[in-house]
Amino acid sequence: MLRRAFVVSLAAGLVGGAALSACSGETPETETQVGPSDSMVNPELLALSWPMVTADEAVLATYSGQPGWLSLVTSGKIRDAVEQLGPTGGLAAARAHAEAAAMYKQAAMLSATSAQATYEGSPRETDARGAVHLNMIGHALNGDVAGAKALAEAGVEDLSPEAQVFHEVWKTALMADPASTPTADALSAVVNLPAVTVGQWPELALEPHYTLAEQAEGSELSVTDPSALMALALWHDAAADIAAPESAAALDVFGARYRFLYEPVPTSDADLPMELVFGADMLTPADGPFLAALTGDAGISAVDAWKERSLLASLAHASRIDGALSVDVAQDAASEARADVLAGMSAAAGGNTLGHHRVFADIVMVGVLRAMALVAEAEGNHEAAGILLISAMERSSAEYTADPEALLFLSVWDARNRYPVRGTEILHNLIRRYPNLEAARFGLDALTLRESRARGSQNPGL
């Protein structure tokens, strides 16, 4: 049956022969560990989580019967999912394109934030005057459109004709009333992207877009503009909306935690459909609007507002002591969520632990850690957020927990902290699967070089 095929594929691809035996008719192992009796996990909200919902054979079959879900959920292969789900994939295809958009948004943020940290955060007399263009993009993508407009109004010197093409697209948008960022169509035209088509995966030309003349004689920079990655992100956003136009608002909520910071905060309080939650690091349908509120205008007040509906909000509430998130308690909450999910799925399978149960439980644990990092950030506790993001990364060695957008999000956090080392390794590993991410390397390499010269043997960052 479909469920057996889904589970066997999981086992064969991820957890090897022992789990495969457990899913193919031989005696499965019996799970003896159960969640602690005083667990922080609300059992009523746990029952709404996607692992518990898909513990029902009929529900799981609705996913195992569609190509692309294995690629997306168990292998982290976003491109494969986009192409396999294709133009008739509906909301599932929209989910795959939304994941791609989130990845490219964080990559563009990494490139632009790194360049801004270099040329505005620690300027040198010999820096290219045209680097102001990169600072301008960094301001805009990080939500400071007014600051970006001020730089455009002041003018940018020494731009080559090739660089001027990119700058004019930005200047036109920023000087409009009201000031805005370039449209998807304008950016796509600059980097020659094809018409938006569901199921397609555009490739960038990865040669540098232009050079910037430094104020040292005979020296120049070869630059890949962050706008190229921005264009790809907006292209996939548009593809997601075309694939499931009736779910455009839900798709905005799904991508809220990884949006460009100039983008408006989705305000919907509607639960997400299961297609946008299954296999994600959001556990229940209400976790999407909770995270959107948390990372938006509501801020930390979202925890109390959503704790009765959202499992992640409930865990965040339980992890706060005297009004502040405890890193230790948050990590305990992630472990307890994993244990309770595993026990619940095993119970639904007659007391047996199948191979995919541990896969799903691991995704849950990492998802809780990432959400708790956002809670810490909303509190203004930058260090706690970093610890939790790193903890999530350290538990993401498997493909099914190593979400590219989450790893790049950590890299952006590091760039703001002027620590490019970890992001360089993350980006290097991701480029093997997603060559388009090579476009993020310029900004990160510039920051790496600047920091290595400034700090010598010191090792900044967490």
Rounded Cα distance between 269 and 358, Å, is 31
How far from 324 is each of 252, 372, 377, CA to CA, in Å?
A: 29, 11, 11
pLDDT for the residue 455? 61
State mean pLDDT over 27-38.
44
Question: Given this model, what pLDDT does residue 23 score?
Answer: 32
pLDDT for residue 422 is more than 80: yes
Alpha-carbon distances, residue 207 vs 136, 264, 334 (angstroms): 22, 32, 42
Query: Residue 19 — very low, low, confident or very high, per pLDDT cuts 50/70/90?
Result: very low
Percent pLDDT > 90 in the chain is 82
Say what the pLDDT of residue 37 is: 53
Q: Is the pLDDT of residue 27 over 50?
A: no
Q: pTM (2 decimals)?
A: 0.91
CA distance 115 to 128: 12
| pLDDT band, very low/low/confident/very high, at 122 (cuts 50, 70, 90) | very high
CA distances from 364 to 115, 275, 314, 454 (A): 34, 16, 14, 40
Quickly state the pLDDT bin for 461 (edges 50, 70, 90). Answer: low
Binned at pLDDT 50, 70 and 90, residue 454 comes out as: low
Residue 382 pLDDT > 90: yes
pLDDT of residue 237 exceeding 80: yes
pLDDT score at 36: 45
| Dist CA 46 CA 237 (whole Å) | 30
Please, what is the average pLDDT of the chain? 90
- Confidence bin at 62 (pLDDT 50/70/90): confident
CA distance 207 to 154: 29
